[in-house]
Amino acid sequence: MRQITLSRRSVLKAAGIAGAASLMGVNLSPAHAAEAAAKDRTEQLLKDGWHFGHCRMCMRGTCPNLYRVQNGVVVEIMGNPKTPTSKGALCAKGQSIIQNLYNPYRVKTPMKRTNPKKGLSEDPMWVEISWEEAMSTTAGVLKKVRERDPRRFVYTVGFGDMDFFCTFLFYFAGAYGTPNYLKSNGTLCVLHYASDLVHGVFPGVKPDATYAKYILAMGMNLGMGIASSDGGVRGLLDRVVYEKDIKVVCVDPHCGPDASKTEWVPIRPGGELAFMMGVIHSMIFEVKKLDFDFLQWRTNSPYLIGPDGYYARGTDGKPQILDSADGKVKSFDDPTLKTPDIYAVNVDVNGVKATASFVHVKNGFKTYTPEWAAKKSGIPAKKIRQIAKDFIDNASIGETIELMNGKGEKVILPKRTSVCEGKRGIKNMRDGVPADLMTKMMNMLVGSIDVPGGMLGTQRGPYLKPDKDGVVEPKGEARYKDPVYPPQHLNLSEYFPHKHTLPTLAFKVAADPKKYGLEYEVDALLTVGGNPIASTTEPYAVADSVAKIPFSATVAYHYDEMAHMSDILLPCHALLEKESVNCYEGAFDVYTKETVTKKVMMYREPFKPVYNSRQPQDIIIELCERIGMINEFNANVNKTGVMLGEITFAKLPEADKLQPGVRYSIREIWDRGVRSYFHKSLADMAKEGMLVMDLAPADAYNSSWFKKGETRHPVYFERLKKSGDGLRKFFTEYKDKVYLPDFDLDDQLQYYEAVIKWRPKKLTEVKKGDKYDMISINWKTPTSPMRSAGNDQMPYLNEASETFDPAYGKFSINTKTAKEKGIKEGDTIWVESESGKIKGQVHITELIFPDVVGVAGALGRLVDSLGKKAASYPMYNKLTNAKISDCCAVAIGVSNSVPVRIYKA
Ligand SMILES: Nc1nc2c(c(=O)[nH]1)N[C@H]1C(S)=C(S)[C@@H](COP(=O)(O)OP(=O)(O)OC[C@H]3O[C@@H](n4cnc5c(=O)[nH]c(N)nc54)[C@H](O)[C@@H]3O)O[C@H]1N2
Ligand SMILES: Nc1nc2c(c(=O)[nH]1)N[C@H]1C(S)=C(S)[C@@H](COP(=O)(O)OP(=O)(O)OC[C@H]3O[C@@H](n4cnc5c(=O)[nH]c(N)nc54)[C@H](O)[C@@H]3O)O[C@H]1N2
Ligand SMILES: [Mo]
């Protein structure tokens, strides 16, 4: 144990460096510090009792590490210095992985509940049982339920066990035959619709800081605020701090680590859409230097729109374009098309008068002047104009770059160097999808989409494939499907074609399914690394519903809220005990030269289990066998491929397909996947620790697969309008049948429009003198991006957070507001919304917009079985709600910023 004490100091030191650099702006690049310390030591280290691993202290898990074992104890951790992306850095979370292993609050052996009463304040009265009893009880119930009606089983997953999540999220639910596969991660994470609509990718897009010169970040973390150590963020920091050749502007009510190192533009929460409309107005009507060539050939700008708001179609059924070269109206793919007219008005198409999309789009921004936007956003009109001008001036419109493709050919691609992107801070809002579409609009106006320096889809390849109308085909959440009645899914996903995930709604429905038109009730629940109680919203409503489910089991690392409500606990390994593979490609935050062409496949050698736990995938596969569905499970793996990372699927060759009747271990399945994808075995991976694949530079850019005019991005959102029209038809027809509280059809569907308009929302109506006269906001912190790995329990992390981040676990209030309200540093106050209230300590700061309360982190627990510290923090999610009328009208994400009032406790 002495060794642990020693390593504690070195961990704190390292955490201090990484933490301080990202939290406080200390002028030391984590990249350089780590490289200097760790150069070329890898080979020696391995001889010295070090083992290959990779992190998973956050949901990314993309930082390869090395851990050292001495006398059977893990005593030291470091980033793998050979990693081309992270170059051996680890953040404070990654440095704490040893505490994840030796966490005293772990579930150490299978457990059975003996208190039949379930509730957050009930003692489950756990007793230890054998693995055999735990598995046979769980499989026995699940088998019976499946025989009766597989829909009566709910499978809940999340990012808490992402190693597992990556591999078996849908295979198990699919094999079982339940429609109720519920991801708990989505309600507060609606990032996907607009990226799918415009780029045809999942999970999203990110700026290419390899070449970008200007990044406008709207309510998002570029990675520094999450203390992400993976290559992108470190590369970006180097450019910001050392090379000083990139301008980053963070539009945020709160000045976090990203904003503190770049430029912070404080905004009033809720005014984001208005702000972007003001910027776009200025770009179109004042600066007037757009990428017209891109608009003509790479967007649907020239498509003619009929009086019904849809594409006006020719006799061949295709969208039409006016060619100003010869004055003729032509189909979009006519090879004689020379000069697509984006300003065409009142053109005759097949007997109707039609006008070019771009004219509608442009007219749509006419009244949204910077002065107007300033009133809504609190950002001065002058600043709005400056951002519009800087965005265009830095965009390099007209420039090109020559890169090699995978066939060894030189390709000339446009290079654009201004990008705008937003994340949770603007998307988790009533008008979240419209706001997100405006970030895409800014990029499209300067041609900065899937080209070097632009906004890139996280998946690479010919993802911009056009639909039959020649416009990029969405592949996920932007696709539309007509609703059906009665609904089959507990989350009523039939009614919400563009939803991300709806766990809170699902559990509300589960409490009273008949009322919602469902033909079945819920009998059983299995949870793996998901926490619909704590990580989403309306925690008590969800907990009440979970308590009513007759049987519930959790593959549990520790006693979190879902474990607390369970009948059986199946203990899973801690991170270092889990064997794992993970492919880094398309991580979330940002691309740089270190990462843009890389795929890094990493491997974690499992440490000998400390307790009586198991590899989670093998628990699930064994359940499949015991339930009698191993054939279905194997068939699903064969069909979908082996998932090797968040977006990496390995299709198995015929000879390697899983055979019916055989229960494979996860090891064998990964081995087949890795061999198929990387042509190496898992044994090779164990020797090398990681495999690196380099993409040819041109192939990293999705537009390189298509010539001018072959595929187009939508500036006119015809598909969104179509979804709204389809939904209106359904809900009108079924209005007497559908039960959906807090749903106003007209209010909801007005957001489904081809040209986005501004509308006031609850947030924008908050004013002095109201009952709720302030707005609360929440953000991820470097040590608390979410609850994966039990971040909120780790003593090193709590210590580092409270030492380096004065906002951590507290309520940040602007100096001026605090003075007005007579509130002082350290006061204990209540923050109360329509939905709930939380108590905590005040931190007074200039780094937050006036009249806003900032609550940092995904913190707070509703059970004390994770220790007093984790339970002591205020839980932000009590303030929010899942009312459809408050959620994003398209992606149904919870509004994360809400009206509140504060008062002394
Ligand atoms: N206040 C607030 N809430 C948020 C967010 C926020 O920033 N602030 N972020 C939102 C976002 S973007 C997302 S994606 C979601 C994510 O939400 P979820 O997908 O639910 O993921 P987590 O909250 O990370 O973890 C879920 C549960 O798994 C447990 N767990 C930890 N380690 C392990 C393990 O090794 N194995 C198993 N089986 N379980 C483990 C955790 O303690 C936690 O209770 O959260 C959302 N909720
Ligand atoms: N390394 C690493 N990277 C990750 C993750 C991880 O766990 N580790 N998690 C990934 C996941 S699942 C997600 S969803 C993303 C989330 O990534 P982000 O969306 O970037 O995360 P947040 O920090 O929650 O929110 C970003 C910003 O929004 C601001 N904000 C809050 N409310 C408002 C508002 O009303 N208006 C405006 N304008 N801004 C507001 C906050 O101050 C914060 O700075 O990160 C991903 N990236
Ligand atoms: Mo997320």
At 418 the pLDDT is 98
Q: Name the percent of the chain lying above pLDDT 70.
A: 94
CA of 784, closest atom in ligand 1: 7
C-alpha 886/C-alpha 875 separation (Å) is 20
Q: Compute CA 94 distance to the chain's CA centroid, rounded to the nearest angstrom.
A: 20
pLDDT above 60 (res 629): yes
Q: Give the tokens for residue 889.
A: 């009208």
CB 61 within 8 A of CB 582: yes
Q: What pLDDT score was predicted for residue 26? A: 34
Tokens of 162: 């992402």
Is 250 among the domain residues?
Answer: yes
Q: Give yes or no: residues 261 and 410 share one domain.
A: yes
Residue 68 and residue 200 in one domain: no
Looking at the 3D structure of the chain, how many domains does it have?
Answer: 3
From first CA to last CA, the distance across the chain in angstroms is 43
Query: 73 in a domain, yes or no?
Result: yes
Q: Tell me the pLDDT band of 60, cut-offs 50, 70 and 90.
A: confident
* Nearest ligand atom owner, CA of 779: 2
Given a contact cutoff of 8 angstroms between Cβ atoms, the answer to whether 206 and 447 are in contact is no
Q: Is residue 845 domain-resident?
A: yes
- Domain boundary (102, 134, 166) is at 102
306 in Cβ contact with 721 (< 8 Å): no
Could you tell me if residue 218 is inside a domain?
Answer: yes
Residue of 825, 807, 830 whose CA lies nearest to 815? 825
DSSP string, 701-749: SGGGGS-TTTSBB-SS-HHHHHHHHHHHHHHHHTTTT---TT--HHHHH
Ligand closest to Cα of 100 equals: 1
How many Å apart are CA 153 and CA 303, to the nearest integer?
47
Quick one: average pLDDT of 233-251? 93
Interval 785-811: pLDDT, tens: 999 999 999 999 999 999 999 999 999
Do 90 and 210 have their domain in common? no
Q: Is the pLDDT of residue 263 over 70?
A: yes
- Listed residue (153, 185, 158) closest to 169, CA to CA: 158
User: What is the per-residue burial (b if ≥16 Cβ within 10 Å, else e) of 750-777?
Assistant: ebbebbbebeebbbbebeeeeebbbbbb
Band of residue 30 on the pLDDT scale cut at 50, 70, 90? very low
Q: Which atom of ligand 2 is nearest to the CA of 781?
A: 23
Domain boundary among 81, 102, 123: 102
Q: Name the DSSP letter for residue 255.
A: -
What's the pLDDT band for 167 if we cut at 50, 70, 90? low
CATH, residue 424? 3.40.228.10
Mean predicted confidence (pLDDT) in 659-668: 95
Q: For the domain that residue 47 is a member of, what is the CATH number?
A: 2.20.25.90
In 3-state terms, what secondary structure has residue 540?
Answer: helix
Give, as one character, the DSSP assignment of residue 177: T
pLDDT grade, residue 48 (50/70/90)?
Answer: low
Asked if 75 and 205 sit in the same domain, the reply is: no
Q: What is the pLDDT of residues 118-131, one digit of tens each?
A: 999 999 999 999 99
Contacts for 412 with CB less than 8 Å, ≥ 6 apart: 400, 401, 402
**Looking at residue 128, what is its pLDDT?**
98
Would you say residue 602 has pLDDT above 90?
Answer: yes
Q: Residue of the nearest CA to atom 15 in ligand 1?
A: 185
Domain stops at, among 693, 723, 753:
723
Looking at the CA of 428, which ligand is closest? 2
Q: Please indicate, yes or no, whether residues 386 and 257 belong to a single structural domain of this protein.
A: yes
Do both 766 and 719 map to the same domain? Answer: no
Distance CA 261, CA 624 (A): 50
DSSP assigned state of 239: I
- The band of 21, judged by pLDDT with boundaries at 50, 70 and 90, is very low
Pocket test for ligand 1, best of 252, 507, 776, 788 (most atoms within 8 A of CB): 788
Supply the range of the domain harboring residue 870. 762-904
Task: Supply the mean pLDDT for the chain.
Answer: 92
- Over 90: is that where the pLDDT of 748 sits? yes
Determine which residue's CA is closest to atom 32 belonging to ligand 1: 789
Note residues around ion ligand 3 (Cβ under 5 angstroms): 189
Provide mean pLDDT across the span 355-369: 98
| Nearest atom of ligand 1 to the alpha carbon of 574 | 35
Ligand 1 pocket (Cβ < 6 Å) reads: 158-161, 184-185, 188-189, 424, 528-531, 534-535, 555-557, 560, 572, 778, 780, 786-790, 858, 876-877
Least confident of 169-178, 303-312, 387-396, 811-820: 169-178
> Which residues does a 6 A CB cutoff place in the pocket of ligand 2?
58-60, 189, 191, 218-221, 225-226, 228, 251-254, 256, 267, 269, 272, 423-426, 588-589, 777, 779-780, 785-786, 897
The answer to whether residue 588 scores a pLDDT higher than 80 is no
Flag whether 162 is in a domain: no
Atom of ligand 2 nearest to the CA of 778: 31
**Helices first, then strands: H and E counts in the chain:** 29, 34
Q: How far is the CA of 356 from the centre of ligand 3 (A)?
A: 37
pTM of the model: 0.94
Tell me: the pLDDT tens digits for 675-719?
A: 999 899 999 999 999 998 899 999 999 999 999 999 999 999 999
pLDDT of residue 589: 85
Q: For ligand 1, what atom is nearest to the CA of residue 191? A: 12
- Please report whether residue 660 resides in a domain: no
Give pLDDT, residue 24: 32
Of all protein residues, the one whose alpha carbon is nearest to atom 39 of ligand 1 is: 529
**Best residue among 156, 426, 531, 558 to mutate for probing ligand 1, ranked by most atoms within 8 Å of CB:** 531
Please indicate, yes or no, whether residues 316 and 442 belong to a single structural domain of this protein.
yes
Asked whether residue 87 falls in the same domain as residue 214, the answer is no
Ligand 2 center from residue 227 Cα (angstroms): 12
Residue 670: DSSP 8-state = H
Q: How confident is the model at residue 35 (pLDDT cuts 50, 70, 90)?
A: very low
Res. 347: pLDDT tops 60: yes
286, two tokens:
């004042």
Tell me which residue has its CA closest to atom 40 in ligand 1: 160
Flag whether 142 is in a domain: no
DSSP-based three-state secondary structure for 10: helix
Find the 191 Cα to ligand 2 centroid distance in Å: 10
Residue 225 is predicted with a pLDDT of: 87
Confirm whether 746 is domain-assigned: no
Q: Across the strands, what pairs with 403?
A: 411
Q: What mean pLDDT is predicted for residues 483-492?
A: 96
Structure tokens at 516: 């919602």
pLDDT of amino acid 186:
86
Neighbours of 115 (CB within 10 A): 11
Reported for 409-415, long-range contacts at CB under 8 A and 24+ positions apart, including other chains, are 411/698, 411/704, 413/451, 413/452, 413/698, 413/701, 413/703, 413/704, 414/294, 414/447, 414/451, 414/452, 414/703, 415/211, 415/451, 415/452, 415/453
Ligand 1 mean position, distance from CA 788 (Å): 5
Residues 86 and 221 in one domain: no
SS3 content of the chain, % helix, strand, coil (to 5): 35, 20, 45
Atom 29 of ligand 1, residue of closest alpha carbon: 160
Question: Ligand 1 atom 30: the closest Cα is on which residue?
Answer: 160
Question: What pLDDT is stored for residue 52 in this prediction?
Answer: 95
Reference 653, options 665, 662, 641, 668; nearest CA is 641
Average pLDDT for residues 287-291, to the nearest whole number?
97
Q: Are 367 and 455 part of one and the same domain?
A: yes
CB 475 within 8 A of CB 232: no
DSSP single-letter state for residue 791: G
Domain harbouring 799, CATH code: 2.40.40.20
pLDDT(18) > 60: no
Which residue, judged by its Cα, is nearest atom 47 of ligand 2?
588
**Do 89 and 218 belong to one domain?**
no
Q: Which atom of ligand 1 has the smallest separation from the CA of 855?
A: 1
Same domain, 829 and 878: yes
